[in-house]
Structure 1
Amino acid sequence: MSFVHLHTHSEFSLLDGANRLGDLVRRALHYEMPALALTDHGCMYGAWAFQKAAWKEGLKPIIGMEAYVAPGDRRDRSRGSAERNYYHLVLLARDREGYRNLVKLSSIGYTEGFYHKPRVDREVLARHSGGLIVSSACLAGEVARNLMEGRDEAARDAAQWYANVFQDRYYLEVQAHGTPGQAELNRRIFDLASDLDLPVVATNDAHFLECGDHEAHDTLLCIGLGKDKSDPDRMRYDDGLYFKGPDQMREAFPDRPDVIENTLRIGDEVDLTFDKKYHVPAFPLPEGVSTEEEYLVHLTTEGAKERYGDPLPDEVKDRMDFELGVILETGYSGYFLITWDFIRWAREQGIP
């Protein structure tokens, strides 16, 4: 049985993620994984390059984001410790609707909710919930934080709210590393999932590629935090937050094959592809002209006759036919008409 990483950070989790996109794709292929998610902190900076690199190598990309969720209104900027002003939440685009909602949520985080981090809130999550698959994230997630601080009822309420909003698309998340408290959180997550009949998914919150990259990542983290490496009170990541293989993930949850199977299920559910297209406005055509192509050929021919005479010299006609053929074949007639209209108007106004 394989496995799909659904909680993965790249270099676009600025000064926190140490994985390069190409390395992630190659490592997933090395482990014969069918898909891979990119879930950078609060942003989608790497989404286009990631999906392009993944599809090129035959790997299904899952576009996602680890969102910052405000505990109240996203616009509330009451003073307090930065980490208490948001929770983490993993969002994955299942389809085109989900991708559009993910883009919208990312933008709202920066334009309306930015306070220490780009934050969203429950109101906009409910408004833009369509097509998104959601998991409860790490120790900094809302459910996790409530569980670890003894607020079991609050954790239960939060999980039920997300399960109701993202019906059949919400998963509680367990992770396979040794961060202090993670094993206890996993146990409590399993208990909560049993109580609420919710599915559980395994991730590893991968911030670096191999276990041996931990020291380099720790240096990167210090740069991001503005801390000295010798500072005993600074944040430290466990050396297990790397891109583990399927066998390692299964070994972490030997009695719960469902948490591995659910990653594959999510990978199968995702159906999102992109077509690279250029959208050019339709050019307003004069009466009696039916297509942009016809009008471009007419203007070009008349202009050539003005410049070179009628009938056109053979070499001029051959060159004109060749260049028009390229433009017509590539569908750029409207673009050239718009450019011609700009230049015509500028000349009429005496603008060089």
Structure 2
Amino acid sequence: YQNLLQLVSIAHLEGFYYKPRIDLDILRKYADGLIALTACMSGQIPRLLLANQFEAAQKQLSWFQDVFGPDRFYLELQYQQLAEQRNLNRNLAKLAAQNGIPLVATNDVHYLNREDAEAHDVLLCIQTGKTIEDTNRMRFSTSEFYLKTPAEMEEIFFDYPEALENTLKIAERCNVHLELGEFHMPQFQLPAGTQEKLTTEKYLEQLCRQAIVDKGLTWDEVREKRLLFELSIINQMGFPGYFLIVRDFVHFAKREQIMVGPGRGSAAGSLVAYLLGITNLDPIEHGLLFERFLNPERISMPDIDIDFCFERRGEVISYVRKRFGEDRVAQIITFGTMAARAAVRDVGRVLGISYGEVDRVAKLIPRELGISIADAIAHSPDLQELIQSNPKIAQLMKIAVKIEGFPRHASTHAAGVVISGEPLTKFLPLSRSNEDEIITQFTMEDIESLGLLKMDFLGLRTLTVLRDTQVLIEQNRGQKVSIDKISLNDFRTYEDLAQGHTLGIFQLESAGIRRLLMRLQPETIGDLTALVALYRPGPLGSGMDDDFIKARHGQKEISYLHPLLEPILKETYGVILYQEQVMKIVSSLGGFTLGQADLVRRAMGKKKPEVLAAMRQQFIQGAIAHGILEQIAVSIFDLLEYFAGYGYNKSHSAAYALIVYQTAYFKTN
């Protein structure tokens, strides 16, 4: 498997010319542990046999025998009802007998079922820019390139029983075990002179303690307890090096005056991340939870996403490559797929249906994110009528359904970067992007399954604007303004926001959010945090925004199902707005730890009834133990289930609310 990864990577990185290629010397170098088959009619030996170049075929066969030995090289038989294949198979069998090489029967599969041949033909036309009527185009001459059943293969190769038996022998010999679920963290190199004195755990704590002094923080028992708790979980889960790695490249960015965002996602809930300068929000001050970020009850890699100045993000990635090694850092591949409307338009063009007709059909598919063609047909009487009355449209939709969701192109993920402590080709194959950047061939999800360190380096244009603003202030006014030290209680800034003066303000330029902002009348950073969380389809569709705003302005009485809910929901006027509030309620009223409460929140969000049933019962029993009536406990859990799907990550809201405020502050002042 390791050799296969090397071959595939070399073919893409060094040998690519219209398609990935390797030469025979490279194949010889990485042949150990691999089984070689001679491929379809386009393979080297089959091509020579088809051209009656028997001596050259024998010479090539001897080379493969020498490289792969007697038990890892097979002559491959295929039959898709192509006339030339019969003679080719006879010649391959003859070569096998003459040289003592085993045969293997294989299936040249390009689509799953026989009836998919038409959709495959259309896909080829989409790929090559042709129409189905074009006589001068790539096409498969039979519909036999589908996955045949064992019975069909036995019927085809009845006179080569040993070739069929060898399919099983090869399958039994392929026993790759990927170590999924294990983490492969790069080692963080401690500064010179400290290795013998400090462990990574001690060094991490030392940096946090120093930051308390450097930031001039008022330290109290709450913060001390939180710091010790976070450090214990980080160390217990084996992630101190992770935090030191992130701190390293964030500090590089700041040294080079590359703007870094105040935080993104749940990482803003970590006091350690704040002390290390990774985030710029005090989670104690903002009421953010560490367990929402790193749950001791759920072993998974931390996920710290960082926003950088859009124009200089590449410099940070280049630094990480130099710091950890060019062969250990890569950006991540992503695959663009055929969405419903695109599939309909592409198939319509290939079938030669007029643009007007295809456009009419495509526009009957809602623009709703993720909607499938099947869903659109089920909910659209107009589409159903078109399909029933027009055979061309029926054929179009039948094929479009089959190719919908297929990968259309590969590109570089907008933010994903993988960092390894060893060469990446030990774990995954590499490729090259259209921009000539080295990228992985595995997607983000696969990389996470392999336990590799994946991070999002996002480029945020607003940070570039904020950088330019500070430069212009210094040039034009002679004032050096530090964005991290501006007052968060500037009356004029909130006044401008309340009046809807949001042109150029981060995330507040749309008419919808401007209306919500003016109804809200923000006065604090906490109000802006709520605004970011409220302006989403779920809360807006459920009426949460109305409940929140009416209660805020005293137009609606705030009530709680139980007094224990008040300290948790008071900041949001009785509305369950944040995921962290769900966690606090489950913990405070149900007796769960915050880590367990996060698992409940996740189960509610994913609507897993079998998991939730046990959690519901545990919550009710815990609530009763806290003196809450069973009926009230049931109602509270029902309420949590309802709002869990709408709740938003407060850590992310708070971080982005800070960017909202910063842009508004500079505009106003």
Give TM-score, length-normalised by structure 1. Answer: 0.64
State the percentage of identical aligned residues.
38
* 2:6 alignment partner, SS class: helix
Find the partner of 2:163 among 259, 268, 273.
Answer: 259
Quick one: which of 186, 191, 200 aligns to 1:292? 200
Q: Tell me the distance in 2 between the aligned counterparts of 1:216 and 1:348.
A: 55
Shift of 1:203: 0.8
Q: Which of these residues, 144, 148, 166, is aligned with residue 46 of structure 2?
A: 144
In the other structure, the counterpart of 1:48 is none
1:138-195 CA-to-partner distances (Å, cap 9, x unmatched) read 1111111111221112112211211111112111000132123112211221111111
Aligned to 1:61: none
Aligned pair count reads 252
Residue 32 (structure 1) aligns with: none
Q: List gaps (5 residues or longer) in structure 2.
A: 260-669
- Further displaced range: 173-182 or 195-204: 173-182
Q: Output aligned runs, 1:45-84, within 5 Å.
A: none
Alpha carbons of structure 1 residues 263 and 350: separation in structure 2 relative to 1, 3 Å: closer
Change (3 A) 1:210 1:315: same
1:289 and 1:295 in contact (8 A); partners too = no
2:178 corresponds, among 261, 268, 274, to 274
Alpha-carbon separation, structure 2, partners of 1:346 and 1:186: 62
8 A contact 2:121–2:139 mirrored in 1: yes
Q: Does 1:223 align with 2:223?
A: no
> In the TM superposition, what is the alpha-carbon distance from 1:123 to its structure 2 partner?
2.0
Q: Are positions 1:178 and 2:178 aligned together?
A: no
Check the 8 A contact 1:202/1:263 in 2, yes or no: yes
Instruction: State the shift of 1:308 in Å.
Output: 4.9
* Counterpart position of 1:201: 104
Aligned partner of 2:62 among 144, 160, 176: 160
Q: Of the candidates 225, 230, 249, which is equivalent to residue 318 of structure 1?
A: 225
Name the counterpart of 1:249. 153
1:326 is matched by which residue type in structure 2?
I
Q: CA deviation at 1:347?
A: 6.5
- Once the two structures are superposed, residues 246-289 of structure 1 have per-residue CA deviations (whole angstroms, 9 ceiling, x without a partner) of 11111211132221221111111112232353432333152663
Pairwise CA distance, 1:125? 1.4
Q: Distance in 1 between matches of 2:31 and 2:88?
A: 26
Structure 1 position 100, deviation (Å): 3.0
1:33 equivalent in structure 2: none
Q: CA deviation at 1:351?
A: 7.1
What code does the residue aligned with 1:280 have? Answer: P
Distance 1:324 1:138, change over 3 A: same
Q: Secondary structure at the match of 1:171?
A: strand
More helix by share: 2
Deviations 1:188-216, CA, capped at 9 Å, x for gaps? 21111111110111111100000000011
Structure 1, 332-341 or 169-178: larger mean CA deviation: 332-341
For the residues of structure 1 that align with 2:254 and 2:139, how far apart are their CA atoms? 64
For CA contacts below 8 A with separation 6 or more, give which structure has more relative contact order: 1
Q: Shift of residue 239 of structure 1?
A: 0.8
Q: Distance in 1 between matches of 2:48 and 2:35?
A: 22
Provide, for residues 21-56 of structure 1, a one-character-per-residue CA deviation record: whole Å limited to 9, x for no partner.
xxxxxxxxxxxxxxxxxxxxxxxxxxxxxxxxxxxx
1:217, CA displacement in angstroms?
0.6
Give the direction of change, closer, same or farther, for the CA distance of 1:320–1:158 in structure 2 (3 Å limit).
same
Inter-CA distance 217–344: structure 2 relative to 1 (3 Å threshold): closer
Q: Is the CA contact (8 Å cut-off) linking 2:38 and 2:76 kept in structure 1?
A: yes
* Structure 1: gaps spanning 5 or more residues: 1-98
> Counterpart of 1:212?
115
- Over residues 308-351 of structure 1, what are the superposed CA-to-partner deviations in whole Å (9 max), with x where a residue is unaligned? 56xx5332222112211221122221222234455567767877
Q: Secondary structure at the match of 2:52?
A: coil
Determine if contact 2:46/2:88 at 8 Å carries over to the other structure.
Answer: yes
* CA 1:290–1:230: 2 relative to 1, 3 Å: same
Letter paired with 1:319? R
One-letter code aligned to 1:205: D
Residue equivalent to 1:129: 31
Structure with larger Rg: 2
| Paired residue secondary structure (2:190) | coil
Q: Per-residue deviation at 1:295?
A: 2.0
1:330-349 correspondence runs (5 A) = 330-341=237-248
**Which letter maps to 2:222?**
E
TM-score by length of 2: 0.35
Classify 1:349/1:259 alpha carbon distance in 2 versus 1 (closer, same or farther; 3 Å).
Answer: closer
After superposition, where does 1:111-126 map in structure 2 within 5 Å?
111-126=13-28
